[in-house]
Amino acid sequence: IGLPNWAVDVPQSLPPLTMIIGIDVSHNTKKGRRSCLGFVASLDPQFCDFYSRICFQKQGVEISTNNILDVFIHDALLEFYKRNKKLPDNIVIYRDGVSDQQMKIVKDHEIPKIYEGIKKLKGTIEAKTKTSLQDLKIGVAEIIVTKRIDDRFFTKDNQKRYYNASSGTTVISGVTNPSVCDFYLVAQNVNQGTVTPTHYYLLENSTNFTLDNFLELTYFQCFNYQNWMGSIRVPAPCQYAHKLCLIAGEMIQAEHQQSLNAVSYTHLTLPTIYSVQISVVAVSLKKK
């Protein structure tokens, strides 16, 4: 009936008008296909309904090089405004797939595009509503999500036996980088082997969020992934962006219909699914 399977509690300290964005890039160098960037942005207060876009770029390129992020941000905020009749006060972006050496490139190239997309939105809304808006003041926070790490954390009992760190374990000092704001979070439970934490770097923050706000939001969103009844290693928007670019890059190699940008998978009807399949076939035939 178009509703999410469940929704996790939203942290009480979180402002009610907040948008969460997930960005990831999928690569398929073995088959020589173009890399695909996936972008998802929440549209509802429970972070269960998403606006989604993809774009293709040169093979093996992780950083957005085709100046498309400002368009994605602009269109996502415009859809948010249509749904809620208001704009979000803050945007929290989870950016996956970025190495330590690429963080400066993201800060210098991708983050300015995000602010540029927000700036363009003012003129668009004024033209559509025929009213004058004050300067848009939307806070932006971008968090780099790093999964491939060698760090492990354990707990020790009175008998000096070691166990995996439990779900919800956070590390904000001792092994973190004192020159940046970063933290480790263990969100998932494991039954075998050692649990691998996820490393988060706060690359940009023009919001009023504290570190505790980011910790709580990040942990809660690891339980909001609708394809798994439990916690995952990364926040749900980050995983949605990963799945989106992976499927589009591996299977379709073409953008989906624009009418599906603001349609969640739970809202897809049988005729809509068939229209997607037909459009994919048409694109493949056109290329041949």
The pLDDT value recorded for residue 265 is 54
pLDDT, residue 190, reads 86
Q: What's the pLDDT at 282?
A: 45
User: Shortest CA distance to 51 belongs to which of 25, 23, 11?
Assistant: 23
pLDDT, position 34: 83
Please, what are the averages of pLDDT over each run of 10 residues along the chain (288 residues)?
Answer: 77 88 86 85 93 87 79 95 93 92 90 93 83 81 95 89 92 92 94 92 95 95 91 95 88 75 58 41 46
Active-site residue list: 24, 62, 96, 242
Q: Which two tokens stand for residue 174?
A: 């001792």
